[in-house]
Amino acid sequence: MSEHTEHSESGIPVKHVIGFIASIVLTLVAAYTTVMSGLPVPWIIAIIMILAVIQAVLQLVMFMHIAEKNPIPQYGNILFGFFIAAVVIAGSIWVMSFGMSDMDMDSGGGSGGGSEEMDHSEH
C-alpha cells in the first residue's frame, strides 16, 4: 500500500494547491510590477527576476518532490546545473558588456574608445 503521510486522504494534496496558488500570485505580482508600478527599470528587472527564482524553487519543491526522502539524494546535480547556468548567463552579459556601447549601429562604429581597444587587442 502506498503511504499517505504527506497527503490528505481525499482529493487534491494541500502542498500542490499551495504551490499552485503561490505561482499564480507570483506571476501576477511580476506582471503588475512590470506594467503598473512605474518603478525605475533596473528595480523592476531585479524584482521580477527574484520573483522568478522564488517561483522556480516552488516548482522544484512543491511539484518535483526534490526535497523528498529518496533512496538517492537528487538535488546535487540540478543545483550544480543552476550554478553553471548562472555563471554562463552572468558571465556572458558581463564580458559582452565591454565595448558594447561603441558597437551600436547608430554611432557609426568607429568612435574613439572603441578603436583604441581594437588596437590593444591586435598587438
Partner 1 sequence: MSEHAELKTGPLEYRREDGPLTILGFWIFLAAEVVLFSTLFATYAVLFGRYGEATPAHELFEMPMALTMTFLLLVSSFTCGIAVHMMRKESLKGLVIWLIITLALGLGFLGFEIYEFVHYVHEGATIQSSAFWSAFFTLTGTHGLHVTLGVFWCTAIIIQLIRFGLTPVIARKTFVIGLYWHFLDVVWIFIFTAVYLIGMVV
Least Å distance, CB 67 to partner 1, is 13
Residue 8 carries which side chain, given as an amino acid letter?
A: S
Q: Is 106 in the site for partner 1 (CB under 8 A)?
A: no
Q: Is 88 in the site for partner 1 (CB under 8 A)?
A: yes
Nearer to partner 1, 87 or 118 (CB): 87
The whole-angstrom separation of Cα 89 and Cα 28 is: 25
- DSSP annotation of 39: -
Least Å distance, CB 88 to partner 1, is 4
Helical H runs in 1-111? 14-35, 41-58, 75-96
Quickly tell me which residue has 543552476 as its cell: 82
Site for partner 1 in 24-63 (CB under 8 A): 24, 27, 30-31, 34-35, 41, 44-45, 48-49, 51-52, 55-56, 59-60, 62-63
Nearer to partner 1, 41 or 123 (CB): 41
The whole-angstrom separation of Cα 63 and Cα 58 is: 8
Nearer to partner 1, 38 or 119 (CB): 38
Nearer to partner 1, 4 or 123 (CB): 4
Nearest Cα to 73, choosing from 83, 65, 81? Answer: 65
